[in-house]
């Protein structure tokens, strides 16, 4: 088992190298001359040259790439021009906010999508099936930033059920002591139910917005793969042997149907992390997405590059975890590895 | 596709014209009858194309002119969709934006279709180092969350509409590459390809005249499934302030402009562009599903 995991870890290396090469190219593709840019508008010719040497832009590309990787490994991801803070520190501070939002969104989507897909597959042609079809087609058509605004309008402005859609906590509540950075968990550790409630209230709308978007591919895949498995021979045999229908459904069919769903999770995470940026902007969520957008508006490139790299590393890591989970669910994949 | 005609030579002679047309019409009618949503989507599609073509003449007001009405006035008989903070007519802006939004998506999809399709076809047919290199490229693109990669590309290359098109094309490239490669790999061993080769056709001729026309149906399905997503991506990028710049009318930017007014109750500024954007994406997704059911019933889910 450990060997299989190690093999998979090695399998992620090419993706990692690819990601670093691409982000390196992106840092060198800045419009105009980066040295002139960093020297500022009033920079003299000497100042520009000085910056060029300081940034290592006077060296050959392979050398520059080497220094780039070395700096990344040392944790030097550049500094933000607007806040003056190192990019890695800023990203580290804001990452928990983004992760909390993304994970809650994913859990909501999974909790709704998988039962919906299973129900639709066991009753083809019924109203559940039609509902599932409708949701899956409509769900992928939703522009996340628009659904977010719509939900904020309905639940904050019209009904007044949700708190004002600005940030992780309302201004009257202070953040719980830092343990994990997830407000929901930290407030529970501090046994502060008031803060927990406040944090959950702020989280509901953005998380539902995210969930609505990724629900569709999950439900669609669950339904399709359940349909396929339910018509397989081994399910017929299990039924013919007189096993309880629920045993057949869950022990036999569901476990096998889960595999293609796990594979889609990779694509789902790609959607999630992408739309996370938009949702953070709509709800003024202080995560790494809104950090990147602020930097983009100010033409502050180091944070944007750091953000792209951080997201890509996170995505590689998530894909790796999916791969490992795949091995746990499917013994065949474990043997092959 | 000019190359699709010669390929018919390698297929059995089709029945005379009217019969074929009639049969295709029956299939179309059957599919539409089976799923009334497809008919609706087709109608919507025609509507959007008309708006994109004739938008500037259909819009009741100049989309960029401010103070054609009282600023921030709700929908009324004079301004069906209301006016925004500068007193611009939202209906006109939504109509005129159609061309830009669809244009970006069409250009991006066309780019990734041609480049990705050709790369995939070459990789699938010849294999070897080109296959390995192009697979590596597409794997690297897929190693990023795609929207984030698009953000990074636009940020690095410069904040222009052309770069939005390029970024959207790059993130869609792997899908076309993979479909083309997989289809060509299967077909390259097929009997008709062998026959074409034995008849003395060169490799390039076999690839372009016999294989590529035959992978068109799945590629078309890919295009129609991809269009909606391309529109969403482009609108998302301009929502966060990339590419299209105000005062230009574009759905994503218009939603962004309306966002700050949502919490104070001026809902119409963001609602109408958002709804139209959603409808456009929905229409393309439905069409994609119908087209897939028609061309490739096995992949129906």
The structure tokens 């439905």 sit at B286
For residue A42, what are its two tokens?
């009033």
What's the gap between Cα B109 and its chain centre? 5
Query: Residue B6 has what pLDDT?
Result: 44
Q: How far is CA B256 from CA B249, B259, B262, B270, B276, in A?
A: 12, 5, 10, 7, 14
B257 Cα to chain A: minimum distance (Å): 11
Chain A residues inside the 8 Å CB shell of B236:
143-145, 274-275, 278
Is B252 at the interface with chain A, CB within 8 A?
yes
Interface test with A, best of B139, B142, B156, B166 (most A CBs within 10 A): B156
Interatomic CA distance for residues B294 and B24, integer angstroms: 11
Instruction: Please report the pLDDT score of residue B31 as a whole number.
Output: 63
**Is residue B141 predicted with pLDDT exceeding 50?**
yes
Position B7 scores a pLDDT of 42
Does A269 reach chain B within 8 Å, measured CB to CB?
yes
Token reading at A268: 């789902």
DSSP secondary structure letters along B124-193: HHH-HHHHHHHHHHHHHHHTS-HHHHHHHHHHHH-SSHHHHHHHHHHHHHHHHHHHHHHHHHHHTTSHHH
pLDDT for the residue numbered A39? 67
Task: Give percent above pLDDT 90 in chain B.
Answer: 12
**Residues in B touching A315 (Cβ below 8 Å):** 143-145
Structure tokens at B84: 């925004």
Determine, for residues A296 and B155 on separate chains, whether the beta-carbon distance falls below 8 Å. yes
Q: Determine the distance in angstroms separating the CA of A140 from the nearest CA of chain B, rounded to an integer.
A: 8
- Which of B155, B256, B280 to probe by mutation at the A interface, max A CB count within 10 Å? B155
Q: Tell me if A283 sits within 8 A of A166, measured CB to CB.
A: yes
The angle subtended at Cα B240 by Cα A282 and Cα B272, nearest 5°, is 65
Contact between residue B92 and residue B59 where contact means Cβ atoms under 8 Å apart: yes
CA distance B248 to chain A (A): 17
- Asked whether the predicted pLDDT for residue B103 surpasses 60, the reply is yes
Task: Please give the pLDDT value at position B65.
Answer: 73
Residue of A nearest to B37 (CA): A134
Distance CA A308, CA B167 (A): 14
Is A152 close to B262, i.e. CB distance below 8 A? yes
The verdict on ipTM greater than 0.90 is no
Which residue positions in chain A have pLDDT lower than 50? 337
In chain B, the residue whose alpha carbon lies closest to the alpha carbon of A124 is: B301
Express each pLDDT in A83-97 by its tens digit.
778 888 888 888 888
Query: Chain B residue closest to A281 (CA)?
Result: B240
Q: What are the strands, taking DSSP E only, across chain B?
A: none
Q: Between B13 and A120, whose confidence is greater? A: A120
Please indicate if any CB of chain A lies within 8 Å of the CB of B235.
yes
- Residue B291, chain A, CB below 8 Å: the answer is no
Q: CB–CB of A165 and B263 under 8 A?
A: yes
Q: What residues does each domain of chain A span?
A: 94-282
pLDDT confidence bin for B176, thresholds 50/70/90 = very high
**Residue B247, preceding peptide bond in cis (omega within 30° of 0):** yes
Q: Taking chain B, what is the end-to-end CA distance rounded to the nearest angstrom?
A: 29
- Reported as half-sphere exposure (CB side, CA atoms, 13 A), residue B34 has a value of 9
- Residues of chain A positioned with their CB less than 8 A from the CB of B298: none
pLDDT of amino acid B167: 92
User: What's A79's DSSP letter?
Assistant: B
Rg of the Cα trace of chain B? 23
Q: What is the pLDDT of residues B40-90, one digit of tens each?
A: 888 888 888 888 888 787 777 777 777 677 777 777 777 777 777 777 877
Q: Which residue(s) pair with A79 in the sheet?
A: A86
Whole-number Å distance between alpha carbons of A332 and A268: 24
**pLDDT for B2:** 41
Distance CA A134, CA A97 (A): 32
Residue whose pair of structure tokens reads 């919507």 in the numeric block: B44
- Closest by Cβ to A137, choosing from B242, B252, B289: B289
Q: Give the residue from A105, A106, A81, A97 showing the smallest Cα distance to A306.
A: A81
Chain B residues near residue A164 by CB distance under 8 angstroms: 263
Which of A146, A157, A281 shows the shortest C-beta gap to B274? Answer: A146
Report yes or no: A219 at the B interface, CB cutoff 8 Å. no
* B100-129 residues touching A, CB cutoff 8 A: none
Of A145, A164, A312, the CB nearest to B263: A164
> Which residues in chain B touch residue A269, judged by CB atoms under 8 angstroms apart?
145
* Torsions phi, psi for A204 (to 5 deg): -55, -55
Return the pLDDT at A37: 67
pLDDT at B26 over 80: no
Chain A interface disruption, residue of B34, B41, B144, B254, most A CBs within 10 A = B144
Q: Are the Cβ atoms of B228 and A15 closer than 8 angstroms?
A: no
Domain A94-282 coded CATH 3.40.80.10: no
Mention every residue, 6+ apart, whose C-beta is less than 8 A from residue B234. B101, B104, B105, B108, B164, B165, B168, B243, B252
Nearest-by-CA chain A residue for B145: A270
Instruction: Give the SS3 label for residue B246.
Output: coil
Which of A141, A156, A277 has the CB atom closest to B278's CB atom? A141
Bridge partners of residue B89, in order along the sequence: B83
Q: Do B255 and A143 touch (CB under 8 A)?
A: yes
Task: Give A191 to chain B, closest Cα distance, Å.
Answer: 33
pTM (2 d.p.): 0.84
- The answer to whether A141 and B289 are in contact (CB under 8 A) is no
**Average per-residue pLDDT in chain B?**
81
- The answer to whether the CB atoms of B140 and A220 lie below 8 A apart is no
Chain A contact for B186 (CB, 8 A cutoff) = no
What is the pLDDT, as a whole number, of residue B3?
43
Say yes or no to pLDDT of B17 above 70: no
- The nearest CA of chain A is from the CA of B118 a distance in Å of 22
């Amino acid at each position: 088992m450990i060997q299989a995991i190690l093999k998979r870890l090695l399998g992620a290396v090419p993706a990692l190298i690819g990601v670093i090469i691409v982000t390196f190219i992106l840092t060198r593709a800045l419009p105009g001359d980066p040295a002139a840019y960093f020297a500022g508008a009033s920079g003299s010719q000497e100042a520009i040259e000085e910056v060029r040497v300081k940034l290592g832009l006077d060296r050959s590309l392979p050398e520059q790439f080497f220094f780039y990787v070395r700096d990344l490994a040392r944790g030097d991801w550049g500094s933000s021009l607007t806040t003056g803070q190192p990019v890695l520190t800023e990203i580290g501070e804001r990452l928990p906010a983004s992760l909390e939002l993304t994970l809650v969104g994913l859990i909501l989507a999974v909790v709704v999508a998988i039962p919906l897909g299973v129900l639709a597959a066991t009753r083809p042609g019924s109203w559940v099936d039609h509902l599932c079809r409708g949701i899956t087609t409509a769900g992928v058509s939703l522009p996340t930033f628009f659904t977010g605004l719509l939900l904020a309008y309905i639940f904050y402005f019209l009904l007044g059920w949700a708190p004002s859609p600005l940030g992780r906590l309302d201004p009257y509540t202070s953040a719980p002591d830092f343990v994990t950075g997830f407000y929901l968990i930290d407030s529970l550790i501090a046994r502060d139910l008031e803060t927990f409630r406040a944090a959950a209230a702020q989280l509901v709308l953005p998380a539902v917005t995210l969930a609505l978007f990724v629900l569709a591919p999950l439900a669609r895949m669950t339904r399709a793969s359940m349909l396929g498995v339910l018509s397989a021979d081994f399910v017929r045999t299990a039924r013919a042997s007189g096993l309880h229908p629920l045993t057949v459904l869950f022990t036999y069919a569901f476990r096998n149907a889960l595999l293609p769903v796990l594979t889609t999770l990779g694509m789902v995470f790609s959607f999630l992390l992408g739309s996370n940026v938009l949702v953070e902007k709509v709800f003024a969520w202080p995560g790494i997405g809104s950090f990147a957008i602020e930097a983009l508006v100010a033409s502050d490139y180091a944070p944007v590059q750091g953000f792209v790299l951080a997201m890509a590393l996170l995505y590689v890591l998530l894909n790796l975890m999916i791969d490992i989970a795949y091995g746990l669910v499917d013994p065949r994949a474990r043997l092959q590895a | 596709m000019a190359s699709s005609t010669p390929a018919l030579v390698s297929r059995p002679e089709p029945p005379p014209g009217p019969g074929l047309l009639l049969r295709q019409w029956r299939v179309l009618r059957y599919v539409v009858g089976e799923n009334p949503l497809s008919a609706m989507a087709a109608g919507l599609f025609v509507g959007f194309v008309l708006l994109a073509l004739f938008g500037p003449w259909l819009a009741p007001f100049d989309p960029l002119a401010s103070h054609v009405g009282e600023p921030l006035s709700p929908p009324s008989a004079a301004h069906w969709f209301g006016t925004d903070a500068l007193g611009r007519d939202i209906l006109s802006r939504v109509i005129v934006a159609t061309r830009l939004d669809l244009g970006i998506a069409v250009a991006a999809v066309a780019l990734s279709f041609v480049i990705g399709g050709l790369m995939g076809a070459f990789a699938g047919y010849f294999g070897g180092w080109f296959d390995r290199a192009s697979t590596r490229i597409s794997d690297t693109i897929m190693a990023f969350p795609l929207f984030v990669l698009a953000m990074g590309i636009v940020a690095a290359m410069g904040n222009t509409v052309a770069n939005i098109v390029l970024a959207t094309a790059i993130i869609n490239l792997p899908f076309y590459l993979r479909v083309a490669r997989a289809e060509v790999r299967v077909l390259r061993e097929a009997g008709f390809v062998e026959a074409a080769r034995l008849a003395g056709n060169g490799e390039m001729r076999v690839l372009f005249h016999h294989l590529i026309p035959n992978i068109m149906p799945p590629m078309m399905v890919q295009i129609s499934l991809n269009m909606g997503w391309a529109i969403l991506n482009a609108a998302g990028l301009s929502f966060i302030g990339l590419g299209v710049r105000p005062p230009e009318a574009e759905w994503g930017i218009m939603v962004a402009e309306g966002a700050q007014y949502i919490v104070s109750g001026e809902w119409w500024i963001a609602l109408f562009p958002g709804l139209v954007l959603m409808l456009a994406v929905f229409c393309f997704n439905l069409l994609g599903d119908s087209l897939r059911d028609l061309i490739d019933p096995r992949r129906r889910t």
